[in-house]
Amino acid sequence: ATLPCHLLAVSFIYREFYESEKDPDFWKEWAQRTLKNALTLQDLNKNVAKNIILFLGDGMGVPTVTAARILKGQMSGQNGEETQLEMDKFPYVALSKTYNTNAQVPDSAGTATAYLCGVKANEGTVGVSAAAVRSQCNTTQGNEVKSILKWAKDAGKSVGIVTTTRVNHATPSAAYAHCVDRDWYSDGDMPPEALQSGCKDIARQLFENIPDINVIMGGGRRSMYPRNTPDVEYPGDKKHNGTRKDGRNLVAEWTDRVKDKKGYYAWNRKELLSLNPNDVDYLLGLFEPGDLPYELERNKETDPSLTEMVDVAIKILRKNERGFYLLVEGGRIDHGHHEGKAKQALHEAVEMDRAITRAGLLTSIYDTLTVVTADHSHVFSFGGYTPRGNSIFGLAPIVSDVDQKPFTSILYGNGPGFKLVNGTRENVSTVHYEQNNYQAQSAVPLSMETHGGEDVAIFSKGPMAHLLHGVQEQHYIPHVMAYAACIGQNKDHCRANSGSPSLSHISPTLAFLLSVKWLLFL
């Protein structure tokens, strides 16, 4: 398409790119390598998945994936556009329809119920069907739905949850809780009538509903301790004190229960990394009173990275000869976007991609199904005819032909970045738009930016990954993962094919060689 006249100048901006890209053979040979790799996918991996891992990028819509890819490349000195995220290397990609039963644009609770419990649900509710009504305690009983983590545990697998948010936040809570309000973090956050009617807070359900979860890591300490109990890390800051009204110390109760079962509690990075995973069967790691800090602000002495937590989790879980299920959430991608802080959000996405890389090194595609997806998108975008290699956080190469002011490539449809100076849009060239907490401009002023309603990507590799194809309803995801692992309701094919090979019959050496061969084609 022909550019408008006022944009023609963009065509003359020098774009830095590799000299080899001028040669048509460069692109043809690249395509042929990709084709050769695609042809290998005709031999479908129908092994039984001993292990299943779900990486959930909260709020990681397709524009976020693309921008994170560019950022990853630019962090290593490249232009960025040609870079591959680890998830980009997965052979199968599908789209997920994210709506809740009562919401066109969803929230993280209803979506978590879909991709963990296999049932679409109302916004704001976790682990209950659409028959449950948000905040109405009396609609809980009889409407509970079980998650794939529970299916895996019932099948004898080890199970784990790792998140950068609170462990009782929306995403992880749908793995173990049945609650009509995602905000009932502790009993101190619940209305008296809900407590009187017998509803339980989410933190309590974490330890009671499935009492033998092997690995739990994230934030959320304040929901575990009695009200006014000083936090171990911030004893002088009352906002981090315990919030429980029932007087229970859930951490102490858990520690007492597992003390003779190789169980350990850690509240900082040093304690976590000092553990020998071979000597640990149960781990509770609560590294902050609330959510973990953004990766760009993480105290590397006290808070582990998502990659470090995933590394420890897999090394503990993989000891089980029956395999494991692991839920990993890059939860603060979402928070960065809500705050209009795209730099924070994208660095969170890059860190989750590092964790995906680490998980891939610790597992094999021949017995491990790995799925990467998002619960929903955001009204985040980047554009403006930026030249090749333009900083993802930089300015577009033109000014507006309406107000004659520059603008950043990254913008939000709504959010806290809306700002008028003397009645007109702020001139972004007068502010530090590449700083960590810069709030990108938005079209509509809101204190918090909103979710987006478009489909999100599902990346998959490993046994039965090909079943995640096309455009699917979000609740389909755990059914595929369960089918691949022969857990939950789909087991008939496992009995029928009990004589077919799976990785349990393949030597570790052969599995390693097959993994290397697959990687060479990437």
Annotated binding-site residue? 375: yes
Residues near 36 by Cβ (< 8 Å), separated by ≥ 6? Answer: 521
Annotated binding-site residue? 88: no
CA distance 440 to 206: 37
CA distance 417 to 266: 38
What are the tokens at 239? 């906002």
Strand, helix or coil at 468? Answer: coil
Q: Which of 366, 322, 373 is nearest to 352 (CA)?
A: 373
Q: In sequence order, which ranges of 180-227 are alpha helices (DSSP H)?
A: 192-196, 202-208
Q: What phi and psi values does residue 126 have, to the nearest 5 degrees?
A: -130, 135
Annotated binding-site residue? 58: yes
Annotated binding-site residue? 451: yes
- Residue count of the chain, please give it: 522
Q: Which amino acid is at 110?
A: G
Annotated binding-site residue? 475: no
Q: Return the number of other C-beta atoms located less than 10 Å from residue 262's C-beta.
A: 13
Annotated binding-site residue? 348: no
Q: Which of 398, 482, 393 is nearest to 441 (CA)?
A: 393
Q: Which of 458, 352, 451, 485 is nearest to 114 (CA)?
A: 458
CA distance 508 to 505: 9
Q: What phi and psi values does residue 490 have, to the nearest 5 degrees?
A: -100, 95
Percentage helix, strand, coil for the chain under 3-state DSSP, each rounded to 5:
35, 20, 45
How far is CA 415 from its chain centroid? Answer: 22
Q: Which amino acid is at 211?
A: P
Residue with tokens 């401009």: 441
Q: What phi and psi values does residue 368 have, to the nearest 5 degrees?
A: -130, 120
Q: Which of 240, 210, 218 is nearest to 227 (CA)?
A: 240
CA distance 62 to 373: 10
CB 401 within 8 A of CB 431: no
**Is 197 tagged catalytic?**
no
Q: How far apart are the first and last CA of the chain?
A: 33
CA distance 472 to 466: 13
Which listed residue (11, 76, 108, 223) is catalytic?
108
Annotated binding-site residue? 493: no
Q: Annotated binding residues for Mg(2+), as ranges?
A: 58, 169, 171, 329
Q: Annotated binding residues, as ranges?
A: 58, 169, 171, 329, 334, 338, 375-376, 451
Q: Annotated binding residues for Zn(2+), as ranges?
A: 58, 334, 338, 375-376, 451
Active site residues: 108
